[in-house]
Amino acid sequence: MRSSTSSFNNIFLGITPYQQRLHLWLLLFVTLFAGLMNFIFHGYPRHKGNFEFVSEAVYKEFRAEVENADLLPAYTSRTGHLDHSYYFLGLPEMLPNLKGAKMLFIGNSRIQFGINDTLLKPHLDAMGIPFHMLAFGHGEKSEFAMQLIEKFNLQPEIIVINANPGYFNPYLTERAEKVIEEDDSWYNRQSLWLTLFVAALHEINRFMPANKKMIPKYWMSRSKVTGSWQFTESFHTNLKNIEFKPKSKCEPLGETQIQNILQFRKRLLKLNPTIKIISLQVPFPGSCSERPNQVAKLLGGQAFYYHPDASKPMATIDESHLTKKNQNRYTKALAAYLEKNIVISTTVKPH
């Protein structure tokens, strides 16, 4: 485990307000100069659409999220996904909660958009089950989560896994490879850039009109406690609402998919032979009701699938990730399932 670099929301603690102002103006100059050089060498189109102008209220909401000591930036429109680094480097802000989790949720971004930790946590707290979301964006596969489980010898009692067959492909995305190969050098560069960026942005907004505050178009944070992505209320304001109905029938699993799932199970049971496994599939237009059962039979575990009211179609923001309203619907159904079934041994024999 390494020591964390200075958290960018605490960088100015311990100095006078006058010194803070001098630092901010220096940071502003450096940031603007760097931005000018980037514009000259890379051009405006690369950043077009990365920022938006918002009201004072929305800006205050964004600033409160940035300065929240319980959160770390997970994704920005400039850096892409940052949270791979937090886990691989074992930052002390994240690792204790990860190691202390009795229930781990693993999967891709659909897990993060599909489960509301604020709604789920009271139910699991009442059951005495601390949990953590070990799910990543950027199309990440199970290999990265498995490497983290092995690296830190995690011992959860329950694994909840998003049962998309492609998730079990045994390879890393480009982002995960970069984090592993470069160790903390990439993280340190991005952390420094965010420190400069946020400080300069706040300084610029001091001079902007109340209805023309500037913020990044996309900014997501990650909870140090639950590992869940956090979104400001304004995040979903301009997003789409694309309705769909999950399919009832699934395509059969291919032989390679079956072998990948069995290999994942083998590695998991090697770390903890008594671990309970729950397969689920966060609804999206390509999801189907049979899939969690198909995967559960291979993994040797339970299956949960949410059957929405036919009169109330599900909806995504982009044909892949649930809207906030549907995230809440799905989370409530999952919480009810866990309360009813988690203490009941319904494990089936593996394929």
pLDDT digits (tens, 9 = 90+) for 114-149: 999 999 999 999 999 999 999 999 899 999 999 999
pLDDT tens for residues 158-183? 999 999 999 999 999 998 998 888 77
One-character DSSP codes across 92-109: TTTHHHHHT-SEEEEESH
Q: Give the pair of three-digit tokens for residue 326.
A: 């549907």
Give first-to-last CA distance, the chain, whole Å.
38
Mean local confidence (pLDDT), 70-79: 86
CA angle 58, 189, 234 (to 5 degrees): 15
Domain locations along the chain: 8-341
Q: Which residue has the higher pLDDT, 74 or 19?
A: 74
Residue 262, exposed/middle/buried by CB under 10 A (0-12, 13-18, 19+)?
middle
- Rounded CA gap, 292 and 282, in Å? 10
Q: Give the pair of three-digit tokens for residue 156.
A: 């959860």
- Rounded CA gap, 335 and 158, in Å? 14
- Rounded CA gap, 289 and 31, in Å? 50
Q: Write down the pTM of the prediction.
A: 0.83
Residue tagged 């995960």 (tokens): 176
- Rounded CA gap, 258 and 2, in Å? 37
- Rounded CA gap, 76 and 78, in Å? 5
**Is the pLDDT confidence value at 344 over 50?**
no
Q: Dihedral angle at the C-alpha atoms of 35, 41, 45, 47, nearest 10 degrees?
A: -30
pLDDT tens for residues 286-331? 899 899 999 999 999 999 998 777 678 899 998 999 999 999 999 9
